[in-house]
Amino acid sequence: MNEANKRLHAIVSGRVQGVSFRYHTTLEAKRLNITGWVYNRPDRTVEVIAEGDESTLKDLEAWLYEGSPAAKVTGVDTKWDEATGEFDTFKTVYRKVS
């Protein structure tokens, strides 16, 4: 794992469910060669965990403020950490297991 890799944890609010937000987030993350996942939370927000080069993650973070064409993002809360290297790809999570 590259020492410069970081982890971005984002909670995206607004009209972000039912507008293909997860699908478009996955496409963007794969285009940027970022690993992690995206998930629709029960509170109608979308959660994103992404790992990659910090500058590339900042590109994803900026994209999250726009989102899919039908989305209306009203906020993006982010937290940054060191990457764990636990992901091989970027995917949509449909159900979180505790």
Cα(24)–Cα(82) distance, integer angstroms: 25
**Whole-angstrom Cα distance, residue 41 to residue 43?**
5
Q: Are 18 and 37 in contact (CB under 8 A)?
A: no
Structure tokens at 70: 């039908």
Residues tagged active-site: 22, 40
Of 45, 35, 19, nearest in space to 91 by CA: 35
Distance CA 29, CA 36 (A): 8
